[in-house]
Amino acid sequence: MKIAMIGSGYVGLVSGACFADFGHTVVCIDKAEAKIEALKRGEIPIFEPGLDALVAENVKAGRLSFTTELKGPVSEADVVFIAVGTPSRRGDGHADLSYVYAAAREIAGAVRGFTVVVTKSTVPVGTGDEVERIMREARPEADIAVVSNPEFLREGAAISDFKRPDRIVVGIEDERAREAMTEVYRPLYLNQSPLLFTTRRTSELIKYAANAFLAMKITFINEIADLCEKVGADVQQISRGIGLDGRIGAKFLHAGPGYGGSCFPKDTLALVKTAQDNDSPMRLIETTIAINDTRKRAMARKVVAALGGEVRGKKIAVLGLTFKPETDDMRDAPSISIIQALQDGGARIFAYDPEGMAASKAMLSDVAYGASPYDIAEGAEALVIVTEWNQFRALDFQRLKACMAKPVLVDLRNVYKPEEVARHGFAYSSIGRGTCAMVAPVSEAAQ
């Protein structure tokens, strides 16, 4: 199949490279010239494990190329994917569909022969109808089928998610699209990944329902964690105790500083707006959003408490900035609110992240960056783990203790065992481990 991928960001680039790897011929298109120039030079503009090798192999094999010009590749394509951004619209939280509609207009001007136009971007229910209307208005004679095919990949594990998906959801209104989409995904289909055909509207809503449910699940365990701290219970054991129940499942039950990232915050908000517009409010999700929003600053208060109630003038070292490990994505990362709240309290923030510092510099002000955890820990009164990168899982506590002003660790991801940290003489604060949420250091004599 000949595929044109409009938008070469996290989703477009990964999907394009994977489709090329399946054997299709793919052109990835983006308006951002710097991005396309970098890709042409063999540089990957984002951090995603394994993507550099996958792109290089498929470019070399002649199946993957990059351009800023939409017209040529779209006119030759059997299938055109729209994978542009759908951020929250400023002011009201609806999904901003201007990029999707602009792409639809441009595609309409370029298609030749029967073409399947697929929305891979996360879009509110009914967007496919509007994309089709726009295209038919612009080119009444164009022979198109507009399809919904939401993407479920996770940043940081995007390639394996794309190649071994739990399911592929395809929403169609024109039967001719079924054959083309089956062909596009044939290698996965052969691997028995379920290919679920639905109507277009159902497919669009499946994506929002999935993200809203996962956001709700995280928020649920975060509230249980808060209760654990009050009543002296351990949230990690509760996660295990309920996660082993097949009806609940163990995933997305890790208590932490609240969900962030480029999807959950904007998608939950957009779903709530759609639901309100349709006079069918989703109170569970409205509440999920409210709880999560307040949680991030509450995490800053946890840090303040660990420092004895006052952070003014104190140096705080923050480990991890991205919304999760193995990505450079800083969009809506909890670190942003936590750092800003600590700065509001007068703290001086020093931060380190393996991949997120470049993006962070554009989003946060008055933060000093270091080259390693030990670099930023020098003279700090507390070390705060915000993102659980693997390299933070085996910190050298003796080295940290020797260079920090005070041995205080606030672990917002429950990376460590409280007893272990206390053994090294640190005061330790974590999430939802009631009996040990704030563990005093073990005295030298007791060690």
Ligand X SMILES: NC(=O)c1ccc[n+]([C@@H]2O[C@H](COP(=O)([O-])OP(=O)(O)OC[C@H]3O[C@@H](n4cnc5c(N)ncnc54)[C@H](O)[C@@H]3O)[C@@H](O)[C@H]2O)c1
User: Does 222 engage in binding with ligand X (CB under 6 A)?
Assistant: no
User: Does 135 engage in binding with ligand X (CB under 6 A)?
Assistant: no
User: Does 204 engage in binding with ligand X (CB under 6 A)?
Assistant: no
Interatomic CA distance for residues 419 and 21, integer angstroms:
47
Give the distance between the most distant pair of CA atoms in the chain.
85
Interatomic CA distance for residues 100 and 424, integer angstroms:
53
User: Does 155 engage in binding with ligand X (CB under 6 A)?
Assistant: yes
Angle at 190 between CA 184 and CA 195, to 5 degrees: 60
For the bound state, the minimum distance from the C-beta of residue 94 to ligand X, rounded and expressed in Å, comes to 13
For the bound state, the minimum distance from the C-beta of residue 212 to ligand X, rounded and expressed in Å, comes to 13
User: Does 7 engage in binding with ligand X (CB under 6 A)?
Assistant: yes
The 46-85 contact track toward ligand X, x by CB under 6 A, reads: -------------------------------------xxx
Q: Which 254-293 residues touch ligand X, going by CB under 6 A?
A: 262-263
HSE (side-chain half, CA atoms, 13 Å) at 219: 23
Interatomic CA distance for residues 11 and 83, integer angstroms:
6
List 4, 5, 9, 334, residue binding ligand X (CB under 6 A): 9
List 59, 102, 157, 403, residue binding ligand X (CB under 6 A): 102
For the bound state, the minimum distance from the C-beta of residue 206 to ligand X, rounded and expressed in Å, comes to 12
User: Does 322 engage in binding with ligand X (CB under 6 A)?
Assistant: no
- Tell me the residue length of the chain: 447
Q: Which stretch binds ligand X (CB under 6 A): 2-10, 182-190, 336-344, 358-366?
A: 2-10
User: Does 252 engage in binding with ligand X (CB under 6 A)?
Assistant: no
Interatomic CA distance for residues 53 and 56, integer angstroms:
5
Interatomic CA distance for residues 99 and 121, integer angstroms:
10
User: Does 369 engage in binding with ligand X (CB under 6 A)?
Assistant: no
**Residue 409: which of 383, 433, 386 has the closest Cα?**
383
Q: CA end-to-end span of the chain, whole Å?
A: 67
Interatomic CA distance for residues 334 and 261, integer angstroms:
8
User: Does 107 engage in binding with ligand X (CB under 6 A)?
Assistant: no
The reply to whether 18 belongs to the active site is no
User: Does 215 engage in binding with ligand X (CB under 6 A)?
Assistant: no
Q: Is 374 exposed, middle or buried (0-12, 13-18, 19+ CB in 10 A)?
A: middle
User: Does 99 engage in binding with ligand X (CB under 6 A)?
Assistant: yes
DSSP single-letter state for residue 418: H
One of 18, 28, 228, 263 is an active-site residue; which one? 263
**Residue 168: which of 196, 143, 191, 140 has the closest Cα?**
196
Q: Which 18-47 residues touch ligand X, going by CB under 6 A?
A: 29-32, 35
DSSP single-letter state for residue 391: G
Q: Which is nearer to ligand X, 35 or 314 (CB)?
A: 35
Site for ligand X, rule CB under 6 A: 6-12, 29-32, 35, 83-86, 99, 102-103, 121-122, 151, 153, 155, 262-263
Q: Which residues are catalytic?
A: 263
